[in-house]
A and B are shown apart, each in its own frame.
Chain A
Amino acid sequence: MIRAQADVRSVAALVCIAAVSAIPLVGCAADGPGLASLPAARAPLVVFVAASVAVPFEELATGFEAGRPDLDVQLAPASSATLAQQIAEGAPAGVFASAAAGPMGRTGGRAVDPRVFATDDLVIAVPAGNPAAVAATADLARRELRLGLCAVGVPCGDYARQVLADAGVEASVDTDEPDAASLLAKVRSGDLDAAILYRSQVAAVAPMVEAVEVDPPSAVLVEYLISPLRTPDASPPSVDAVAFVEYVLGPGATVLASAGLGAP
């Protein structure tokens, strides 16, 4: 009997923990009048960011928080396509940083003012030592080569197919990865011999991953866009969201440049 009571108590405790941990989520989702009633809590700023620029954004978030001790910037990195879909479905994001213009246009009208904040180009990423001796884009047609691309519809995948089309190469693809980060991970582990990825991303993990130039050179120019987002109930973007975008476009430029990204 005592045992049973103890069980009931521990279940009750679990329910309490679950309820308490749900509060921040509820706060996020409300993001408006409901939140104002919570005393002295500034809503965290949720930044949906393309997986390929997640690393410099960590530094940007830290820099932005430095002047705002009560503000918490939360990064949600994923494929821009996935993020756009979640934003259109009402995700509680305040800022969207996209790796292409396409996803930025599919936010259900929540991206109010998309602006280019960085540029990049594409390289062939190979594991350290380039074990498969990839020298040019034409090598990506070799059947024995383990080649990965991002999936169609994901910006890095669409860019990669443009690069291949520009070079007139029919690539022998072994996997279509859901985002740039998971593709890079498989090159880094050596399970893929090659992948088409962003130059800045490859530079960030050198020398574990090396960059082979796209040859012949591609005309593909990658433009990263950032925009503050309307709240899910279509209210104007928060002050913090607007300020974060200004920070990225202004003082953040040095962080982006040191991450290997080009200026807009």
Chain B
Amino acid sequence: MNTGARPAPVVVLGLAGAGFLALPVVALLVRVPWSDALDVLGAPASRQALGLSLATSLAAAGLSVTFGVPLAWLLAGGDGRVAAFGRAVVLLPIVLPPVVGGVALLAALGRRGVAGSWLAQAGVVLPFSAAGVVAAQVFVAMPFLVVTVEAALRSTDARSSDAAASLGAGGWRTFRQVTLPSVAPALLAGVALAWARALGEFGATITFAGNLQGRTQTLPLAVYLGTQTDPGAALVLSALLVAVSLVVLVVLRSRWVVAFRPTVPARGPRTG
């Protein structure tokens, strides 16, 4: 990228922005009582919260892919009002405050909810269960995956899939062998975004799934409750969340950059 001189205001404002984003994280790390860190991380409550956070957020990412990729495909193929409406519905959870998402989930899937009362009759009660945590996470996280993958699908070169189709490949085969590989970087970025969002989920989770150590208390909930009883432990757990998030960012960085780079001239995917 061209690194020619930038106007002074750009430099000043840009650096101020970077400082504003970095300072809280640095301040957090400065305050962490590192001498207690091992004790806090070894405590059953912390280990359970970490385990639950990893399990539920990975499950949420998996479900987001399972339902989100087909949804993105549907939306990318549509141009009419239905698709526009569908896109708005998908975007809504991104702009909704998560606590509103939690209230909405209770209204839908709570024991007396629109669909929840049927589920309850079938013996499935999502609130106050780990499955409820996953439901809350999927609600807030899947839209990120859908938006990312749909944008990539819309910008793929239609000629490749047309060519595949003209060679006799069916819709499913074309999608699997031509379209999907061409959006793989975006899919990976979408999965990372969705997973990160699920890992950090707080508002919808505590509203819909409640908070119980070992069952629904994920790391963000443990941090929030910890600020009331044990601020030191809350800081250690916050640092743990920062560390986990950083690891994901670093691991995915190369892929990430690829995903958002302006499209490289498309080369036909190799088959065989």
Question: With a CB–CB cut-off of 8 A, which chain A residues contact B125?
Answer: 146
A173-B212 CB under 8 A given contacts A82-B228, A146-B128, A154-B228: yes
Give the contact-size bracket for chain B: 20 to 34
Interface 0/1 of A141-163, CB less than 8 Å to B: 00000101001111000000000
Contact B216 A79 (CB under 8 A): no
A153 touches B229 (CB 8 A): yes
B228 to A176, Cβ gap below 8 A? no
**CB contact list, A53-89 vs B, under 8 A:** 79, 81-82, 85
With known contacts A189-B110, A190-B110, A175–B216 Cβ distance under 8 A: yes
Given the known A-B contacts A82-B228, A85-B228, A85-B231, are A176 and B213 also in contact in the complex, defined by CB atoms under 8 Å? yes
Interchain Cβ contacts within 8 Å, total number: 59
Decide yes or no: A191 and B112 within 8 Å by CB, A146-B128, A151-B225, A152-B229 being known contacts.
yes
CA distance A174 to B132 in the complex (A): 12
Decide if A178 touches B211 in the complex (CB within 8 Å). yes
Contact A151 B228 (CB under 8 A): yes
Asked if residues A186 and B210 are in contact (CB atoms below 8 Å), the reply is yes
Nearest CB of B to A179, in Å: 9
Which residue on A lies nearest to B209, using beta carbons? A175
Contact B211 A189 (CB under 8 A): no
A82 and B227 in contact (CB under 8 A), knowing A146-B128, A189-B110, A189-B112?
Answer: yes
Q: Give the distance to chain A from B11, nearest Cβ to Cβ, in Å.
A: 18
Which of chain B's residues 219-260 have a Cβ closer than 8 Å to chain A? 224-225, 227-229, 231
Partner of A81, one of B127, B207, B211, B228: B228
Distance between Cα atoms of A177 and B216 in the complex (Å): 11
For B123-151 the 0/1 string (1 means CB < 8 A from A) is 00101100000000000000000000000
Within 8 A of B (CB), among A164-180: 173-178
- Spell out A's residues near B (CB within 8 Å): 79, 81-82, 85, 146, 148, 151-154, 173-178, 182, 186, 189-191
Asked if A85 contacts B127 (CB within 8 A), the reply is no
Q: Which of A79, A153, A176, A190 is the one whose CB lies under 8 Å from B112?
A: A190
Task: State which of B110, B212, B225 has its C-beta within 8 Å of the C-beta of A174.
Answer: B212
30 contacts between A and B (CB under 8 A): A79-B228, A81-B228, A85-B231, A146-B111, A146-B125, A146-B128, A151-B211, A151-B225, A151-B228, A151-B229, A152-B229, A153-B225, A153-B228, A154-B228, A174-B210, A174-B212, A174-B215, A175-B128, A175-B212, A177-B210, A177-B211, A178-B224, A182-B206, A189-B106, A189-B110, A189-B112, A190-B111, A190-B112, A191-B111, A191-B127
Rounded to whole angstroms, the CA-CA distance of A145 and B187 in the bound complex is 43
| Residues of chain A lying within 8 A (CB to CB) of residue B207 | 182
User: Would B228 and A175 count as touching, CB distance under 8 A?
Assistant: no
Contacts of B216 in A (CB 8 A): 175
B30 to chain A, nearest CB (A): 15
